[in-house]
Amino acid sequence: MSLTVGVVGLGLIGGSFCKAYKASDKNNTVYAWNRTETVTGMAKMQGVIDGELNDDNLGECDLVILSLYPEASIAWIREHAAEFNKNGIVTDACGTKRVICEAVFPLAREAGFTFVGCHPMAGTKFSGMAYSKADMYEGAPMVIVPPSFDDIDLLDRVKKLFEPCGFGSYHVAHADEHDRMIAFTSQMPHLVSNAYIKSPSARAHEGFSAGSYKDMTRVAWLNPVMWSQLFLENKDYLIFEIENLQKELEKYKKALTEDNGDELTKLLDEGRRIKEEVDGV
């Protein structure tokens, strides 16, 4: 069955959604809106979309995906609440869920459309439409934050609508659970990587670095405006993770300061064992 999909925001994530739906079935219709109209025009010229998403075709969409920053997504949904297809689904791809879900769930009930919070766990260090790709979501996890956890039919509908993207797994979570875990699995790696590269040694590392350095610094290359907003929206959980890391680092520092090889070995082995328990050999 062919779908009509609307995508709001033609960056890396939104552009990849457009390409995925067009690549999966040539009969799918994809409309998109972007703040910069030249990007929309280029996407249409390249066959990534069929046309601009507007008030005339918004009501035709089986699925509308918001791929803007959280506050901008809320504002766009609020502005277009009356035009959404009442039989379709509106969702988002924001990196935090509490702010947008708290704002949009009641708005959706009032306006009569269905909103489901989502977070595709995929991306690259680059941003922008130019780096989007049709297979971005192949095998990737998708986190779903529904308005109700006992509506199995709704969850099935969401999975079927996302089927053309090729997600490898789906995890249903409360917004609070999502944001708590994402502080650890996504936000902390970006923050630590970004802070780590500020070492005065960074500018002289050439010839002395290999895989470990590349792994540690890969996500230091980020979108500062977007990540700043995400960090602030999730600051309670992120601060918890920062304080926990600081506490652990102090243990290593103390062992080094005291030339305590036994304690240092113990700390390193503890981390190794936890990694093995959590992620396997």
Give the mean model confidence (pLDDT) for residues 163-171: 96
Comparing 262 with 281, the larger pLDDT belongs to: 262
* CA distances in angstroms from 236 to 71, 143, 148, 179, listed in the order given: 18, 21, 25, 10
Dump pLDDT digits (tens) for 51-109: 999 999 999 999 999 999 999 999 999 999 999 999 999 999 999 999 999 999 999 99
Above 70 in pLDDT, residue 138? yes
Q: What is the pLDDT of residue 265?
A: 98
What are the residues facing 7 on neighbouring strands? 32, 65
A 10 A CB-CB count for 36 gives 10
Q: What is the pLDDT of residue 124?
A: 81
Above 80 in pLDDT, residue 264? yes
Computed on alpha carbons and rounded to an integer, the radius of gyration of the chain in Å comes to 21
Determine the Cα–Cα distance for residues 102 and 95; give it in Å rounded to an integer: 14
Res. 123 pLDDT band, cuts 50 70 90: confident
Q: What is the pLDDT of residue 189?
A: 96
Above 80 in pLDDT, residue 261? yes
Above 90 in pLDDT, residue 125? no
Give the mean model confidence (pLDDT) for residues 165-176: 97
Determine the Cα–Cα distance for residues 163 and 225; give it in Å rounded to an integer: 31
3-class state of residue 205 by DSSP: coil
Dump pLDDT digits (tens) for 225-257: 999 999 999 999 999 999 999 999 999 999 999
CATH number belonging to domain 4-173:
3.40.50.720
Dump pLDDT digits (tens) for 39-49: 999 999 999 99
What are the residues facing 4 on neighbouring strands? 29
- Domain borders along the chain are 4-173, 178-279
**Burial (Cβ within 10 Å: 0-12, 13-18, ≥19) of residue 194:** middle
Q: Do domains 4-173 and 178-279 have the same CATH topology?
A: no
Q: What is the pLDDT of residue 209?
A: 81
Above 90 in pLDDT, residue 148? yes
Total residue count of the chain as it appears in this document: 281
Q: What is the pLDDT of residue 54?
A: 96
Determine the Cα–Cα distance for residues 278 and 69; give it in Å rounded to an integer: 31
Determine the Cα–Cα distance for residues 96 and 118; give it in Å rounded to an integer: 9
Q: What is the pLDDT of residue 280?
A: 82
Above 70 in pLDDT, residue 171? yes
Q: What is the pLDDT of residue 126?
A: 81
Res. 208 pLDDT band, cuts 50 70 90: confident
Q: What is the pLDDT of residue 216?
A: 93
Q: What is the pLDDT of residue 281?
A: 63
Q: Determine phi and psi for 36, rounding to 5 degrees.
A: -90, 110
Res. 1 pLDDT band, cuts 50 70 90: confident
Above 80 in pLDDT, residue 153? yes
Q: What is the pLDDT of residue 273?
A: 96
Fold of 178-279: 6-phosphogluconate dehydrogenase C-terminal fold (1.10.3660)
